[in-house]
Every structure is written in structure tokens, then in C-alpha cells.
Amino acid sequence: MATETTMTTSVVNATGTPNNPNAKILIYAMQHLGYDNFVALCDIIDNSIDANATSIKIYISAKDNNFQIIIVDNGCGMTKETLDEALKFGSDSAHDEISDLGKYGMGLSTAGLSLADKTTVLTLNEDTGVIFKSATDVEIIKKENAFVKYLGEASEQEKAFFNAQLDGSPSGTIVILENCFGVKNKNVTQFSNKLIKEIARKYRMFMESIEFSVNDKPITAEDPLMLSGVENGYEAEIYSDDEYEVSWVNNITGEKLSGKVHAKLVLLPNCSDSKAKELGINMANQGFSVLRNNREIAFGFMPWFAKHNSRNRVRGEISFDSSLDEAMGVNFTKNDIDMVDSVDNALQHILKPQITSMANKIKRGMEATEEEMTSHIEAEDAINKKAKVLITPPVKKEQRNSPKPKDVEEKMEKVEKSEDEERKLRIPKKYQGANANVRFDTMHYGQSGVMFEAEQEGKTIVIRWNVDHPFYTRFVRENADNKTLVTSVDFLIYSLAAAQIQAIGEDDDKAQMIENVISTMSTNMKVLLS
């Protein structure tokens, strides 16, 4: 007899009964949410910007390993009522304005808790003319087992401190974080320098109207796309800069919604290895900058942007306003996104072909000269002759699930045609057809680059050796006359490449994982052979 596995519930008491949390336990949990130090501080800075501040000063100090962080802004300040809400958990003052950087109305309280045992706020609103104070102390909350806080007028000493910091401004706010147990790096200089870099990048779009400083050190904008001008004349080239409409379905109402996302792709300057290192043009800094209301909330990984040496000079930027928070999957701390599938797919079909084209353009500039090359023709011949009995990945078919905008389509067709013609000039005739199973190319990826990269073009597996890597110089180039050895090494790399491509299939997560494996292997081989 089948067992009933479903159950219908109903609300017995419509008015409900109080379900107050145990403050002592909950406060401990909230303090250990894993809130990143710099994300937490940026939440407080967001509040200052939303208050129309033109100056935001941060002071960091330590005494007996006890960190203190002070954030001073000359924004509009708060009334007593607004201040009361500001340090409330689950505040009623959630941000509704499209232009606001805040989101859930919990930035100050949650950020403060993640960093410090004690949070004090001093604030002056021009309309009231009174400096008010609110403070929460974890030790008192634990002792009382209730979410209690102080709220009232600041003391004379606190007023004097406030006026000294605001230097006569008619309004402003000071946030004081004491006993900062949550600060992971207890070195003031290192912590400050890291914070400066975070602010310089995340708030770069605000630098013209707002003065930022840490310990009286002014902060200047840092643009990962290098579009604001770089010293010595190094500046990026804009590849595409367009606005695209995306659509999604509201997960509660089922309503179909739409909005516009701005996407920009740039090609960073081609410069020497030493200059590239200085400017941070490397694999670690690859990826996309994601801006919400002009504030960067994420940088780096995109599911359809796998990091690779050939993409060191590729950077992207995606920007949107807070009306697209649901579509872009903005998380609670505003430091990451998880786009809904329809938006992710739309942007992928627009941007991925362009990224591929940019990478190909870079690759052409990285190709080794004939003098630097070692012949891999013997391996190509042997592999292509045995193609029918080898285990090879299935031929990839081009996916066109959604159309590209006409201008993007036309641009891509032109670029792809040019690339095909140029490729044919480089490839021997017998390997230009569809029957070729493998093709070896040689590239300059630098000594720190991957040993090789592999991708599939139709049926052909294209393997690009890095002629700069110690493995290639030691076992291939220095043994160019030993065809048996070179061919055997080519067989090994081909077998790895074929297995790699077959394992990945159409899975972008697997692609990223295997890229990381190849990168780690290449780094270890470099160390061992150097």
C-alpha cells in the first residue's frame, strides 16, 4: 500500500505569536557570516555617497593589536529618527531610489558587526543643527540578550571631535568602528594599501565629484580598462561599446520584464613584458568589471570568459542600474552577481564571439617567427594518417540560439572573413581542408604562460606551443634535430589536448577548471626546469 507523502498546512492563528530571536546567539552568527573586510567598508562608503558627500575620509589605526577604523563624510547627515533606523537590524529605510548604491537597508549595521565589537555613529543634519549619537556594543547586546543600542545627543567631547573632523561643514556623519576583531590583516600599512586599491577601482566613476582619502593619502581613480589615460602614452583601444536590451521573467509574479545593459570591450595596449607587468596586463587581472549604479560590485570571472594567456589584453565592462538587480542576480553584499539564464545567454551570444575575435587578433601578434619555430610536420602527418582509429572529440557545431544585433553580426562576419583568409596563408594546403585532425602552431606566451593551449576548429584540434616556456626550449627547440623525440613530445601533448577537449564538451565550468589545471601544470614545470 502506498504511503501518503504530501501534506497541506494552514495558518492556525492569523495574528501569530512573537518569535523573537536569541540576541546572544544571533549576534555571534551575524559576526561570522564571512563578510569580506573591504566589502563591509564599501557598504559604509555607499551610504556616504547616497548622502551626497563630496569628501570621504577614512582613518585606520591600531594600538596593542586593537584596530580602529573611522569613516568621515560631509554628506547630508541624519535626523534622530533616521539615525534610529540606521543601526536597526532589518531597517525600514531600505533604498528605493534607482540611483542609490544601498540595497537592503542593512549595510551599516551588518557591516559594522562583521568588523567590530562596537559601532558608534555621530551625525549632523543641517535642518536639526544637533549632533546626535547612536552606538551598538556587542558585549552589552550579549549581556542583555537583546538588540539594544544607545540613541541620544553626543557628549561635549564627541561634539568637539566631530567638529574638528568635519572642519566647519554644516552636515556630515562619522562612523567609528572599535575593537575590529574581524580585520584579517592586522598590519595597518598593508590593510590601508589594500583598501586604497579597492576604493580606487570600485569608486573610479565618482572620483571627479568626490574626494577620497585613507589616512590623509588622496586616492586617484584606477581604471582596469585603461580608458582614462595611462602614463607614458599607454591607453586601451575600445573594441565595442553598446547598450543591449535583455529580458527576464519575475520569479514571483511571472511578469516578463526588460531593461538595458551597457557592455564595453577593450583591447589593452601592446607593450613590453616589463611594462605589461607594471600595468598589470596579465592573466590574474583578466575578465570583466561589473558596475551597478556606476559602482563596481565584481571584477574578474564570467562563465563565458575563460582566462587564458591569449586574453591578457582583453577587458570587459558590464554596467546597469539597480532596476536590473533581479535580472543580474545582485547578492546581499553587492559584491557578486548570478545572472538569470535568459540574461546570461543573451550577453553570452553578443559578447563571446567578440571576445574570441579579440583573442584571435592578439594571437596573430604573438605568433613565433619561422626562425623561432621547430617543425612539427612529422607529428601532424602521423596523427592525421591515424585519425580514423584515434579517440577524438566530436565535431563542434556552431550555436546560434539567439541572434546578434545586426551591427555586431556584420562586424563579426568581416573580422572572421579576414581571419580565415590570413589563416589560410599560414597553413600548408594539405591541412586547410576538413580532413585535418591536428595542427601545431607556435606562439609567444612568455615564460610564465601556459606550456600549450588547445582548441577545436571544426574537426581540427589546434595546438599552440608556447615557444617561451622552458619545457619547449629544453625538450623541443634544443632537440629539433631529434625528430623521434620531438614527434613523441607532440604525440603526448596531442593526446592531452584531445582528452581535454573531449572532457570539456560544451561545459564552460569544466573549461575553466581544465584551464586552471593546465596553468598549474605549466607553472610547476617552469619552476622545476628553471
* 91-120 b/e (C-beta count within 10 Å ≥ 16 → b): bebebeeeebbbbebbbbbbbbbbbbbbbb
Main-chain phi, psi angles of 35, to 5 degrees: -65, 115
How far is it, in rounded angstroms, from Cα 18 to Cα 317? 47
Q: Dihedral angle at the C-alpha atoms of 152, 158, 160, 161, nearest 10 degrees?
A: -130
pLDDT tens for 296-350 read 999 887 777 777 777 888 999 999 999 999 999 887 666 678 898 999 999 999 9
Q: Please name the residues in contact with 142: beta carbons below 8 A apart, sequence gap of 6 or more.
A: 23, 24, 27
How far is it, in rounded angstroms, from Cα 311 to Cα 361? 10
Q: Dihedral angle at the C-alpha atoms of 423, 425, 428, 433, nearest 10 degrees?
A: 50
Q: What is the pLDDT of residue 191?
A: 94
How far is it, in rounded angstroms, from Cα 249 to Cα 188? 47
Give Cα separations from 38 to 87, 135, 166, 358 (angstroms).
19, 22, 24, 33
pTM of full prediction above 0.95: no
Q: Does residue 69 contact residue 168 with C-beta atoms inside 8 Å?
A: no
C-alpha cell at 12: 492556525
Neighbours of 242 (CB within 10 A): 14
Q: Please name the residues in contact with 526: beta carbons below 8 A apart, sequence gap of 6 or more.
A: 447, 448, 469, 470, 471
How far is it, in rounded angstroms, from Cα 461 to Cα 438? 5
How far is it, in rounded angstroms, from Cα 152 to Cα 155? 9
Topology given in CATH for the domain delimited by 231-365: Ribosomal Protein S5; domain 2 (3.30.230)
Q: What is the DSSP letter of 70?
A: E
Q: What is the pLDDT of residue 435?
A: 53
Residue 314 pairs with which residues in a beta bridge? Answer: 267
How far is it, in rounded angstroms, from Cα 50 to Cα 99? 8
Q: What is the pLDDT of residue 159?
A: 95
- Tell which residue, 299, 298, 282, has the closest CA to residue 330: 298
Q: What is the pLDDT of residue 120?
A: 94
Topology given in CATH for the domain delimited by 23-218: Heat Shock Protein 90 (3.30.565)
Give Cα separations from 246 to 96, 293, 294, 347, 353 (angstroms).
22, 17, 19, 8, 18
The pairing of beta strand 131-137 with beta strand 118-124: antiparallel
Angle at 314 between CA 310 and CA 317, to 5 degrees: 150
C-alpha cell at 149: 543600542
Q: What is the pLDDT of residue 230?
A: 58
Q: Dihedral angle at the C-alpha atoms of 221, 226, 228, 229, nearest 10 degrees?
A: 110
Q: What is the largest CA-CA distance in the chain?
A: 89
C-alpha cell at 416: 572572421
Encode the chain (530 residues) as per-residue pLDDT tens digits: 444 455 554 445 555 666 677 777 777 777 666 678 898 899 899 999 999 999 999 999 988 778 899 999 999 999 999 898 887 765 555 444 555 565 544 568 788 888 888 999 999 999 999 999 999 898 888 888 887 889 999 999 999 999 999 988 999 999 999 998 878 787 899 999 999 999 999 999 999 999 999 999 999 999 999 887 655 567 788 999 999 999 999 888 889 999 999 999 999 988 877 788 888 888 888 889 999 999 999 988 777 777 777 788 899 999 999 999 999 988 766 667 889 899 999 999 999 899 888 888 887 778 888 778 888 999 999 999 998 888 888 876 544 444 444 555 555 455 445 544 544 444 444 444 445 789 999 988 888 788 998 988 888 999 999 999 999 999 999 999 999 999 999 999 999 999 988 888 777 677 778 888 888 899 899 999 98
pLDDT tens for 204-225 read 999 999 999 999 999 999 999 9
Q: Does residue 91 contact residue 247 with C-beta atoms inside 8 Å?
A: no
Angle at 162 between CA 156 and CA 168, to 5 degrees: 115
Residue found under cell 598589470: 280
Count of residues making up the chain: 530
Q: What is the pLDDT of residue 291?
A: 95
Amino acid at 2: A
Which residue ranges does the chain devote to CATH 3.30.230? 231-365
How far is it, in rounded angstroms, from Cα 173 to Cα 57? 11
Q: What is the DSSP letter of 33?
A: S
- Please, what is the angle between helix 341-366 and helix 406-426, to 10°? 30
C-alpha cell at 288: 570583466
How far is it, in rounded angstroms, from Cα 247 to Cα 236? 31
161 membership: H or E segment, kind and range: helix 156-166
Q: What is the pLDDT of residue 138?
A: 86
Neighbours of 36 (CB within 10 A): 14
Query: Helix, strand, or coil here: 465?
Result: strand
